[in-house]
Structure 1
Amino acid sequence: MTVSEPAILITEVWDTVRFQELPPLPLVRHGQVEAWVRRLLEKAPGLFQGEVVGHSVEGRALHHVWFGSGPRHVLLWSQMHGDEPTATTALFELFEYIRCYREHPRVEALRSELTVHALPMLNPDGAERFQRVNAQGIDINRDALRLQTPEGRTLKALRDRLQPCLGFNLHNQDWRTAVEKTRKPASISLLAPAFDEARSDNAGRVLAKKVCAVIRDALEPLIPGQIGRYSDAFEVRAFGDNIGRWGTPTVLIETGPWPTADHDEAQRRLNFVALVSALEAVASGKAEEADVGRYESIPLNESKGLLRLVVKGAQVFGEAGDAFTADLGVAASPAVRERAGQAVAVMAGEIAELGDLRVFGAFETVEAEGLTAVPLPPGALKEGDTVPLPPRKDCTVRVGHPAELMLLRPDGRPEMWRVERIIRFDR
């Protein structure tokens, strides 16, 4: 499949406005967001407007930034889960696009037809800790009815004030999420959430489905087979579902797993292309012309269907008994850890599956027939070293153990083994 012209253009534009020398996305904190907001309002005071629209539990400002003068209002919010950071940076790259290309006909049309509002980093206290919930320990996205979180009350009040025609709920999803049947990573998943138990359609939800179709068509040439769709079962507590019930249809964009070390950049680019494509389609009216069938035919997500690494056919020692043949599956995802008193971003992994793993997708597969998998002992072992087999108590491999393993092959000398492969992810 060839990349369409709009996707090429938007991707090339992202290369000119993307942020350089960023910390890893898990380390983008509230202070960085405030610096970006200040910079934006200083550099383009007539183009962008901003206000502090609320505060988090711990008193961090919640910023509302907007541009455009169109009659239709669109609201985007990101990082209501503190450990889901991708779209926060992507939103500011979207703003940078608007700032740098303000006189381009595409941007002028967007600004004249829409007023675009954003509430980036809705959960700054959670972002500070790189955790899903806020400082109260509440999942903000399950607080739409009781409104016990100040962050949730802020989002509800802003929606009620603006009465936007469309909302964008921007998240990251589990790195084990696959596209059903293909077992490919669900790098982007989409949903037009239901607003009632019957999963009814009205004009607003149909528009949201069409916008999802636009996003699919923009991204599919870039990530063929890597777009999934969430189940539209109604979640009575969730903001996306309830905002639809209150009169604003929403589009859920979930950023998922990416196979290479440059995942931060790749994921931001996908978000940028998705958001620009969607906003332009809404502004121009092309969203109304989109084929709903392109949304309905997006394959569903497969939860827990993907692994970072699969070791196939190794000899493994369980908690009891002799060694047996099994596949080992490692799940890994971005995380934040304290190292020497500083927060650092890591790819943390653990053994997530053990047994016959033929039904799972994986970024990497290691053929291990004739090898024995055992936990990696402390020390400075390297591949090619020769070691004795550890005592039986130190050979046990279990689900939930750290993904720190060595694959051993008999050396030919009694009780000596060669280290063929070392597998090590952060704890």
Structure 2
Amino acid sequence: MKASFNLSNSLFLLFLIFTFSCKTAKVSAPEVTATVAALESAYFQFKEPAITHRRFRHADLQPLIQKHSAAFRITTLGESVEGRSISSLDWGTGKTKVMLWSQMHGNESTATMSLFDLFNFLEASGDEYDELRDLLKSKLDLRFIPMINPDGAEVFKRRNALDIDLNRDAISQISPEAVILKGARDDFEPKFGFNLHDQQVYYNVSGTPKQATISVLAPAYNYETDVNEVRKRAMQTIVGMNQILQEVVPGNVGKYDDGFEPRAFGDNMTKWGTSTILIESGGHPNDPEKQYIRQLNFMIILNALEQIATRSYGQYTTEQYFAIPDNGFQLVDLLINEIRIPVNGKYYPVDLAIRRRESSAGGSYFVTGSVDDLGDMQVYFGLEEFDATGLNYAEGKVFETAFESLDNIDGAKAMELLKQGYLAVKVNKGAKGDLHQLPILVLQSTDNFSAGWRTGESTNFFLEKDGVRKYAVVNGYLIDLENPKEQEFMQRVY
């Protein structure tokens, strides 16, 4: 998916980049569109093919880091609690120092993927992007730390091996990883910093049903949330990044609350004199492995580096930054409206807000659906919404005859059993925790399963009308029994 260029490559790229970035330029919509096309083309040309999903470990990255040893200055900064190396990759000879760090939380890997795409871009030569590379190399001195929390990444969890949230360890520095990050900052003294994270997919752009696919923040350095020159530069750069995002994901960008957190690295980086830009990768439709959001990270980071190299961020204002909509936290996976719940022989119409929580399992994962809240849910938005007016909640059964193993049941058989009123099957062989993608619950050794409609309970039930089952809700997934759609079920054996 490369752009097709009719002009000479170098002249065309100069038009795209420098017309857009010139301090005095009035940035027009066509210029932004052209810049987006160039950034998209660069991503598809330099995307790192060895990374195809968001669950990878420290060992997976080591050969990719060494692949760039000729073009980057690679340094081992220290080791994690469990003895895994933490490396930096430096590139550029310019005076303006920029430090980018990713995966402070072990299960927040989207930007890590995009950094390796960016390494490929910066290392290449002899193509239409050489003018941009020369600009970045001569103006910037870049330091990348692609995985600050390798122990957390090993088990794909947020915290490190001490069970400490590294983003609350900037001052006490109990963790060796926090010591390494603070030391890297003090040694390098960057003018700009990029604090790269992932956020839950339930963040929305406040007041709208749109996911906050990317959220941004120029962190405050004090409780008063004052704006000094250090913070102002971050705000201005974010405005330029947002112009790119509004071209490709219009309305899907949110801004974090800037309340000061005295233990956080982002807030303290600003306090220590580094203009810090927080990027949080959220959710996007049909992108469970965040490969599209990976592309967005590549595009806005490269754009931001170009802004910093040319100082073109100066054309933007803090007012434009504050005009970016705030984040909300009002999304759920499934919102069922007006479902009739039976209590003491009477039916009550309520809304059910259901979220499917993700848990790691080896190199993969499974989800567990439960009721997040119920009642009047009109202030919430569902990634999937269903009007259940006139439909009653009904319990399901476990199929009496056990199957030998998972291999003896397929999707068609599972659908047949659902239509007969069974929400679960048993298997004789197979371990509790085995993964499957069947649209039915699979039990390893018990004839019971968790189900309910109350807050916190697992969501496994039928929706019926006049005693006829119309829909099933299995582990938080809605299934139309008459017209089932193709969807991916990520479940485990119970």
- SS for the counterpart of 1:211 is helix
Amino acid corresponding to residue 358 of structure 1 in structure 2: Q
The match for 2:105 is 81
Amino acid corresponding to residue 420 of structure 1 in structure 2: Y
The match for 1:398 is 454
- Contact kept in structure 2, 1:374 and 1:396, CA below 8 Å: no
Which of 294, 310, 327 is the matching residue for 2:351? Answer: 327
- SS for the counterpart of 1:62 is strand
- Give the Å deviation of 1:63: 0.7
Amino acid corresponding to residue 68 of structure 2 in structure 1: L
The match for 1:189 is 215
- Contact kept in structure 2, 1:382 and 1:422, CA below 8 Å: no
Which of 417, 420, 427 is the matching residue for 2:471? Answer: 420
Amino acid corresponding to residue 261 of structure 2 in structure 1: E
- Which range moves more in the overlay, 158-167 or 103-112? 103-112
The match for 1:414 is none
Larger RCO, structures 1/2 (Cα 8 Å, 6+ apart): 1
Amino acid corresponding to residue 407 of structure 1 in structure 2: L
The match for 2:81 is 57
Report the Cα distance in structure 1 between the residues aligned to 2:459 and 2:237, rounded to whole angstroms.
Answer: 40
The match for 2:318 is 292
- Contact kept in structure 2, 1:175 and 1:333, CA below 8 Å: no
Q: 2:388 matched to 1:368?
A: yes
Q: Per the alignment, do residues 88 and 373 of structure 1 end up closer, same or farther by CA in structure 2, a change over 3 Å counting?
A: farther
**Larger of the two Rg values belongs to structure:** 2
- Give the Å deviation of 1:234: 0.8
Report the Cα distance in structure 2 between the residues aligned to 1:223 and 1:374, rounded to whole angstroms.
Answer: 40
Amino acid corresponding to residue 199 of structure 2 in structure 1: Q
The alignment yields a C-alpha RMSD, in angstroms, of 2.4
- Give the Å deviation of 1:330: 1.8
How do 1:95-134 and structure 2 match up within 5 A? 95-101=119-125, 104-134=130-160
Q: 2:76 matched to 1:48?
A: no
The match for 1:11 is 40
Report the Cα distance in structure 1 between the residues aligned to 2:140 and 2:451, rounded to whole angstroms.
Answer: 62
Which of 215, 218, 237 is the matching residue for 2:263? Answer: 237
- Render the CA deviation track for 1:197-250: whole Å, top value 9, x for unaligned: 121222111100001111111111111111110111111111111111111120
The match for 1:307 is 332
Q: Per the alignment, do residues 347 and 225 of structure 1 end up closer, same or farther by CA in structure 2, a change over 3 Å counting?
A: farther
- Contact kept in structure 2, 1:282 and 1:288, CA below 8 Å: no
Identity of aligned residues (%): 32
Which of 134, 137, 149 is the matching residue for 2:175? Answer: 149
Amino acid corresponding to residue 142 of structure 1 in structure 2: R
- Contact kept in structure 1, 2:334 and 2:354, CA below 8 Å: yes
TM normalised by structure 2 equals 0.77
The match for 2:369 is 349
Which of 385, 391, 397 is the matching residue for 2:419? Answer: 385
Report the Cα distance in structure 1 between the residues aligned to 2:313 and 2:74, rounded to whole angstroms.
Answer: 28
- Contact kept in structure 2, 1:204 and 1:248, CA below 8 Å: yes
- Contact kept in structure 2, 1:102 and 1:108, CA below 8 Å: no
Report the Cα distance in structure 2 between the residues aligned to 1:70 and 1:333, rounded to whole angstroms.
Answer: 45
The match for 1:224 is 250
- Give the Å deviation of 1:179: 1.0
Amino acid corresponding to residue 10 of structure 1 in structure 2: L
- SS for the counterpart of 2:180 is helix
Report the Cα distance in structure 2 between the residues aligned to 1:159 and 1:180, rounded to whole angstroms.
Answer: 34
The number of residues matched between the two structures is: 409
Q: Per the alignment, do residues 205 and 308 of structure 1 end up closer, same or farther by CA in structure 2, a change over 3 Å counting?
A: same
